[in-house]
């Protein structure tokens, strides 16, 4: 029976097992050859004493190229000096597919490679356990997210990614040819999430791609990313902020519980954050930042400004009560202070992870805000119709999966959190 290397235990000592994997390293000591086999879960030492194994098995192992795919059948023996405390004495050593040489990338990482080189040969880069571990953690994050929302009565939905109207206005859109007319790749499921509140879905979530035609070339921006979005009826911004901090804690608990090995491969000690997260208003943040950085009121904080703020804030925290003019048209202004809206950003250090708000649910006010931002209400026909026939109060947010992984795993570049990243320069692989 086939086993992963991590599944071999003391119970297998003296028994025969079958392993499949890649050749990580070969050490030829003359009459003794050591082969390190790597699969997705770990390593196994294949020991070949020349006098104790078949001649063809010995020669095949001795001459196999690194990163070739092999099948090994052999007896498990206790060996404290070997990885995981065991070795395999092979009866069979079959090369299923031999790798070319030289390799474009050193999977052992004895020879380091720049990120661009790694991404150019991503399939090889992903063979590294340190890199692979990121995506095991990512998988756990997404599984935990779904469980969290299903436990709380949310409905998972899937909204269109080809749209006729900009979600939030502006020009950060990828146009595409849609038969005889122009369409766009969606920036966000925002308009559809709100429409579902009018449909009576009450609580929804979606995990899906978003597309932003931003001409950024930074360590935290992508042009195709994955977003976790929610929308909830009969609540305000405080209600959905509570869901957000509870989700972040839940995800951390799950990853700590189920991904210990992968966190070790990443050399990350992940701690579960305490809730409630600290909250700071935009005005308070502006006061802190303004001691070092000059920022006009009503504008987003620059990266240097956010790094100044991060010196004063620990862990995850919210920036609340943003200027209405700095947020999308659907953010609900305070009744007694129209220039401020019921919006928030979730931060970790200087990194923005999520953004949300209570939404405007009154038709006339929504049309007024659309016009105030220089947009044409007629472009939002299907969306606005939903507000004329019984739209409940509601709120929601969007959380970037890649940004969250950056924060959790202390990644230096967001591209490391994506299998095949899309940015301003990269369209392949």
403 catalytically annotated = yes
Catalytic one of 152, 221, 279, 424: 221
355 catalytically annotated = yes
Is 212 assigned a ligand-binding role in the annotation?
A: yes
Is 61 assigned a ligand-binding role in the annotation?
A: no
3-state per-residue secondary structure call for the chain: CECCHHHCCHHHCCCEEEEEEEEEEEEECCCEEEEEEEECCEEEEEEEECCCCCHHHHHHHHHCCCCCEEEEEEEEEECCCCHHHEEEEEEEEEEEECCCCCCCCCCCCCCCCCHHHHHHCHHHHCCCHHHHHHHHHHHHHHHHHHHHHHHCCCEECCCCCEECCCCCCCCCCEEEEECCEEEEECCCCHHHHHHHHHCCCCEEEEEEEEECCCCCCCCCCCCEEEEEEEEEECCCHHHHHHHHHHHHHHHHHHHHHHCHHHHHHCCCCCCCCCCCCEEEEHHHHHHHHCCCCCCCCCCCCCHHHHHHHHCCCCCEEEEECCEHHHCCCCECEECCEEEEECEEEEEECCEEEEEEEEECCCHHHHHHHHHHCCCCHHHHHHHHHCCCCCCCCEEEEEEEHHHHHHHHHCCCCHHHHCCCCCCCCCCCC
424 catalytically annotated = no
Is 355 assigned a ligand-binding role in the annotation?
A: yes
257 catalytically annotated = no
Q: What is the pTM of this model?
A: 0.94
Is 81 assigned a ligand-binding role in the annotation?
A: no
pLDDT at 228: 98
Catalytic one of 118, 352, 361, 369: 352
- pLDDT of the chain along its 429 residues, tens only? 799 999 999 999 999 999 999 999 999 999 999 999 999 999 999 999 999 999 999 999 999 999 999 999 999 999 999 988 999 999 999 999 999 999 999 999 999 999 999 999 999 999 999 999 999 999 999 999 999 999 999 999 999 999 987 666 666 899 999 999 999 999 999 999 999 999 999 999 999 999 999 888 899 999 999 999 999 999 999 999 999 999 999 999 999 999 999 999 999 999 999 999 999 999 999 999 988 877 777 778 888 899 999 999 999 999 999 999 999 999 999 999 999 999 999 999 999 999 999 999 999 999 999 999 999 999 899 999 999 999 999 999 999 999 999 999 999 999 999 999 999 999 999
Catalytic one of 7, 25, 214, 224: 214
User: According to CATH, where is 3.30.930.10 located in the chain?
Assistant: 123-417
Is 400 assigned a ligand-binding role in the annotation?
A: yes
Contact present, 208 and 227 (Cβ < 8 Å): yes
Catalytic one of 67, 138, 355, 361: 355
Is 403 assigned a ligand-binding role in the annotation?
A: yes
Beta pairing partners, 43: 38
CATH level 3 topology of 5-97: OB fold (Dihydrolipoamide Acetyltransferase, E2P) (2.40.50)
352 catalytically annotated = yes
CATH level 3 topology of 123-417: BirA Bifunctional Protein; domain 2 (3.30.930)
109 catalytically annotated = no
121 catalytically annotated = no
pLDDT at 168: 66
The Cα–Cα gap between 416 and 425 comes to 16
Is 352 assigned a ligand-binding role in the annotation?
A: yes
Catalytic one of 40, 146, 152, 220: 220
User: According to CATH, where is 2.40.50.140 located in the chain?
Assistant: 5-97
pLDDT at 170: 60
């Amino acid at each position: 029976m086939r086993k992963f290397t991590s599944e071999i235990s003391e119970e297998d000592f003296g028994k025969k097992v079958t392993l499949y994997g890649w050749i990580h390293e070969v050490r030829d000591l003359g009459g003794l050859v050591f082969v390190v086999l790597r699969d997705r879960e770990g390593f196994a030492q294949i020991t070949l004493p020349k006098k104790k194994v078949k001649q063809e098995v010995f020669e095949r192992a001795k001459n196999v190229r690194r990163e070739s795919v092999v099948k090994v059948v052999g007896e498990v023996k206790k060996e404290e000096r070997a990885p995981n405390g065991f070795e395999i004495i092979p009866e069979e050593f079959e090369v299923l597919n031999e790798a070319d040489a030289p390799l474009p990338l050193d999977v052992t990482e004895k020879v380091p490679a720049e990120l661009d080189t790694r991404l150019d040969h991503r399939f090889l880069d992903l063979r590294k356990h340190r890199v692979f571990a990121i995506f095991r953690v990512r998988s756990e994050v997404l599984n935990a997210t779904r469980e969290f929302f299903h436990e709380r009565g949310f409905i998972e939905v899937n909204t269109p990614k080809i749209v006729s109207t900009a979600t939030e206005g502006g020009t950060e859109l990828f146009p595409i040819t849609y038969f005889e007319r122009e369409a766009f790749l969606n920036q966000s499921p925002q308009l559809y999430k709100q429409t579902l509140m009018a449909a009576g879905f009450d609580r929804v979530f979606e995990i899906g791609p978003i597309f932003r035609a931003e001409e950024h070339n930074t360590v935290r921006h992508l042009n195709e990313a994955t977003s976790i979005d929610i929308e909830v009826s009969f609540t305000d911004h405080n209600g959905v902020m509570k869901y957000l901090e509870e989700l972040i804690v839940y995800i951390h608990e799950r990853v700590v519980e189920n991904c210990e090995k992968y966190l070790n491969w990443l050399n990350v000690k992940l701690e579960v954050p305490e809730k409630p997260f600290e909250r700071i208003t935009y005005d308070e943040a502006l006061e802190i930042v303004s001691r070092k950085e000059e920022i006009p009121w009503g504008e987003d904080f620059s990266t240097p400004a956010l790094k100044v703020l991060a010196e004063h804030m620990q862990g995850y925290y919210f920036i609340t009560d943003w200027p209405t003019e700095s947020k999308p048209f659907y953010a609900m202004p305070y009744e007694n202070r129209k220039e401020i809206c019921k919006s928030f950003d979730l931060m970790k250090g200087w990194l923005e992870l999520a953004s949300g708000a209570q939404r405007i649910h009154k038709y006339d006010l929504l049309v007024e805000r659309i016009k105030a931002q220089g947009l044409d209400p007629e472009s939002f026909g299907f969306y606005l119709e939903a507000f004329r026939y019984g739209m409940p109060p509601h709120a929601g947010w969007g959380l970037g999966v890649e940004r969250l992984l950056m924060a959790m795993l202390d990644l230096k570049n967001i591209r490391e959190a994506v299998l095949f990243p899309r940015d301003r320069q990269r369209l392949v692989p």
